Structure 1
Amino acid sequence: MQAALLAVVAGLLLAGCATVAGPQNQVAGVARAAPNPDPFEPLNRALFSLGLGLDRAVARPVATAYRRILPRPVRHGVHNALQNADEPMVAINDVLQGRFGAGARTLVRFATNTTVGVVGVFDPAAKAGLSHHDNSFASTLGRYGAPPGPYLYMPLLGPLNVRGAIGGAVDYVADPVALANYSGAATVNVARTSLSLVDERAEAEREINALFVSATDPYATVRSVFLQSEAASGAEPVLEALPDMPAAPTETPAPPTTPKVEPSPPPSSAPPS
C-alpha cells in the first residue's frame, strides 16, 4: 500500500514536470508562460466529485455522530492525544530544517505530555510554555527549494499539491510512533489513522459549511482557498548558501596634489619719480 502510494505520487510529479516544461520555457529570449497550477483539473474534478459523495455517505455522518456522542472535553482529549503522537515527526523535520532548538523543545513537549499528560490526553507542556507547532516533510522540501508542483485533490484528504503529497507519504512511512514494534501496534495504527480523519472532519465542519454556502463552483472555490492559503503562508524560507566574505579593503593612492599658485601682486600704478 505504501509503495503503491509513493509510486502514484512519483508518477504525478513526473507528469507535472513534463506539463510545465513545455516549449515556451525552452525558447531563449521568450518570456516564460506562468505554469498552470491545476494541469490535472479534469482528474481533480472527478476526484472532487467522488470525495463529495464519500463525504456525504461516510465522513460527514461519522463526524456528526462523533460530535454528538462524545462531549467536547473528551473530543479535546482525543485531539490532544492524536497531536501528541505527531510530535516525534515534527521534531525530526525541525532537525532536518536546521531548527535544532525547536526540535529539542518538541521532544521535551512530547516526553512531558506522554508521561505527565497521560499519553497526550492533557497538555501540561503548553502550560509550561512549550506550545505545539506544525511541521512536515513537505515544509522540509520547501525549506530546501523544492517547488510545490501542480495542485491535486485527494478524496477524504482534501486539496494539496505534489510536494504536500510526497511530504505526507514520507511522514506516514517514517513516523517513529507508527514504526514502533509492540503487541497490538497494527490495531493502534489503524485506530489512530481513522480517528485522525474523523477528528479533522469534525473540527472542520463549520468551515466546510461556510465554504459551500455561497460557492457557485465548489471545486474552484476550494482550489482558490487552498492556493491563496499556500501563497499567504509562503512555505518555509529557502536555506541559502553563506554569503562570500568581503575582500580586504585595498588602499587607493591619494590623488596627486596640485601645487598652489600664489597670485602675483597687481602692477603699481604710481608714476615714476
Structure 2
Amino acid sequence: MLLSSINLARSLAATSLILLSGAAFAAQPVSYDDPFEGWNRKVFKFNDTLDTYALKPVAKTYDYIAPQPVQTVVTNFFSNLGEIRNIASNGLQLKGGDTLASTGRLIINSTIGIFGLLDVATPMGIDKRYSDFGLTFAHWGVPSGPYLMLPLFGPKTTRSGFGLVPDSLSNPVTYHHPDSERYALSATDLINTRAKLLDAEDLIVGDRYTFIRDTYLQRREFMITGEQPEDDF
C-alpha cells in the first residue's frame, strides 16, 4: 500500500469519531492547492511513461481483439462489484435513496443479470449512484488537503487518497483467492478501464499535467457540491 499503516489508523480513527458523534458537518469542497507540484510532476512523468510503454499498448490490443459486447460484459461485472462500495459509502453519508438504489442494483444485477454480467437494473430505471469513501470523508467534514499525484493510482486529493483504503476493503476482489486469480481479475479491470479511456486522450489540450489535474479536481468538486466550477482552470 502507498499509505502507511500509521496514517491509515489515524485517518480511520478520526473518521470513526466523526461518524459516531452524529455531528452535522458541512461537506468540505475540493482544494485546488498544489504545493507539491514539483514532486507531483515527477510522479506524473513516471506514471505517464509506464502507461505509454506498458499499459496503453496492452489496452489498445485488448480494445482491438475484444468485441464491444465482451468489453461491456467486463465493465458490467466490475461495476456490479462496485455497488458494494456505493452501498457502504452512500449509507455512511445517510443518503437513503441512493443506498436503496445501489442495493437494488446489486441484487437485481447479481441475480437476473447473471452475477453482474448484464446490467438489467438500468433499463428498469434504477440508475447507478456512484460514491466512494473520499466523498464520504468530504460529506462528514474531512478537509480536502492538497492535490497529490500518486504512483500507479494517479491524481488524488489527500482526502480521496485516504479513501482508497476503505474503497479497497469494500472490493470483493481484495479477498479473492488464490492470489493468481485475484491479480488476473485486477489486471482485467485495469486494462478494460484503460481501454475505455483511449478516445478521451484526444480531449487533452495544453500541458498534460495541468489539464489532468484540473479536470480531476473539477469532477470531484461537482460530485461533492453538484455544481460546476465557475472557472475553467
What residue in structure 1 maps to residue 37 of structure 2?
41
> Normalised by the size of structure 1, how large is the TM-score?
0.68
What residue in structure 1 maps to residue 210 of structure 2?
220
Distance in 2, Cα, partners of 1:118 & 1:44: 42
- Contact 2:32/2:147 (CA < 8 Å) preserved in 1? no
- What secondary structure, in the 3-state scheme, does the structure 2 residue paired with 1:125 have? coil
Q: Deviations over 1:226-246 (max 9, x none)?
A: 233333x05158xxxxxxxxx
What residue in structure 2 maps to residue 82 of structure 1?
78
Unaligned runs of 5+ in 1: 15-34, 238-273
Distance in 1, Cα, partners of 2:99 & 2:139: 15
Q: Determine whether 1:92 maps to 2:81.
A: no
| Residue identity opposite 2:135 in structure 1 | S
Q: Determine whether 1:206 maps to 2:188.
A: no
What residue in structure 1 maps to residue 59 of structure 2?
63
Unaligned runs of 5+ in 2: 12-30, 227-233
Distance in 1, Cα, partners of 2:74 & 2:139: 31
- Which of 7, 10, 13 pairs up with 2:7? 10
Q: Deviations over 1:130-162 (max 9, x none)?
A: 121210001100101112111111244321111
Q: Deviations over 1:240-262 (max 9, x none)?
A: xxxxxxxxxxxxxxxxxxxxxxx
Distance in 2, Cα, partners of 1:171 & 1:124: 24
| Residue identity opposite 2:214 in structure 1 | S
- Contact 1:55/1:156 (CA < 8 Å) preserved in 2? no
Change (3 A) 1:174 1:146: same
- Which of 173, 180, 183 pairs up with 1:178? 173
- Contact 2:59/2:194 (CA < 8 Å) preserved in 1? yes
1:191 positional shift: 2.5
Distance in 2, Cα, partners of 1:115 & 1:136: 24
Distance in 1, Cα, partners of 2:130 & 2:109: 16
| Residue identity opposite 1:6 in structure 2 | L
Q: Deviations over 1:183-203 (max 9, x none)?
A: x35344322321221122111
| Aligned pairs, number | 206
What residue in structure 1 maps to residue 24 of structure 2?
none
- What secondary structure, in the 3-state scheme, does the structure 1 residue paired with 2:224 have? coil
Q: Which has the larger radius of gyration?
A: 1
- What secondary structure, in the 3-state scheme, does the structure 1 residue paired with 2:94 have? coil
| Residue identity opposite 1:178 in structure 2 | V
1:107 positional shift: 1.6
The structure that is helix-richer by fraction is 2
- What secondary structure, in the 3-state scheme, does the structure 2 residue paired with 1:235 have? helix
- Which of 156, 163, 187 pairs up with 1:194? 187
